[in-house]
Amino acid sequence: MSPELSMKKNLVNIFSYSWGLMKSTTPTWVKISNENNKENESFTKFVVPWVVLCTLIVFVFETIYAESKHVETGFIYAFVNLLSLFGAYFFTRTITNSYFKKNLPELFSKIKIEKIVAYSFAVIFMIKIITTIIPSLFFLQILNIYTIYIVWDGCRVIFNINEDERGKIMLLISLSIIFTPAIINKIVLFMLPAF
């Protein structure tokens, strides 16, 4: 398969999985769990394209909306967005790996954990793009809470664990996915002078 067709297929999969997780969560998780991925494949084929797209959109629209120093402002906010999204992904993946190693070693699988963490970021990515393009729709960030259901259903489909344990994992992963990007964003912006 040529690189152009492979990239086109990957982009179609990215958007169909993201939309599917919001529209019909369980069948989409079944498709995702049936994929035979190698380690870091969910990261490179799903997370990286979304983060790059979010970063480009942040750069363009922060440049447009900036009152002064347009390009510098756009670049700084794009870089902070890049750091916060990648940082949130790696932080969430690391604490989820630790949780499974400690509490559920029989279910520990780096590939499955990577899948659930990577694809659970779908809502965060989409809301980030929408609120960057149209800042007055900031109230849509409340929809990030839907991440909780996505993680809940993903844990059921991918790991097939009981509800008590699924609740603990769901809280750990979803709260990390929802709050870590904002926390990293605030910390980095606090450390930057004049921002």
For tokens 């750990």, name the residue. 172
Q: What is the pTM of this model?
A: 0.91
- Please report, for residues 50, 128, 174, 181, 194, the alpha-carbon distance to residue 188 in angstroms, rounded to integers and kept in the order given: 21, 17, 22, 11, 12
How many residues make up the chain in this entry? 195
Domains in the chain, number: 1
- Give the range of the structural domain holding residue 94, as residue numbers without chain letter: 3-191
Helix/strand/coil percentages in the chain, nearest 5: 85, 0, 15
- Label residue 97 exposed, middle or buried (CB < 10 Å: 0-12, 13-18, 19+): middle
CA angle, 12 then 36 then 47, to 5°: 45
pLDDT in tens, the chain (195 residues): 566 667 788 888 888 999 999 999 899 999 999 988 888 888 999 999 999 999 999 999 999 988 888 898 899 999 999 999 999 999 999 999 999 999 988 988 899 999 999 999 999 999 999 999 999 998 988 989 999 999 999 999 998 888 888 888 999 999 999 999 999 999 999 998 876
Name the nearest CA neighbour of 35 among 53, 13, 52, 65: 13
Name the nearest CA neighbour of 17 among 42, 52, 53, 54: 42
| pLDDT at res. 1 | 59
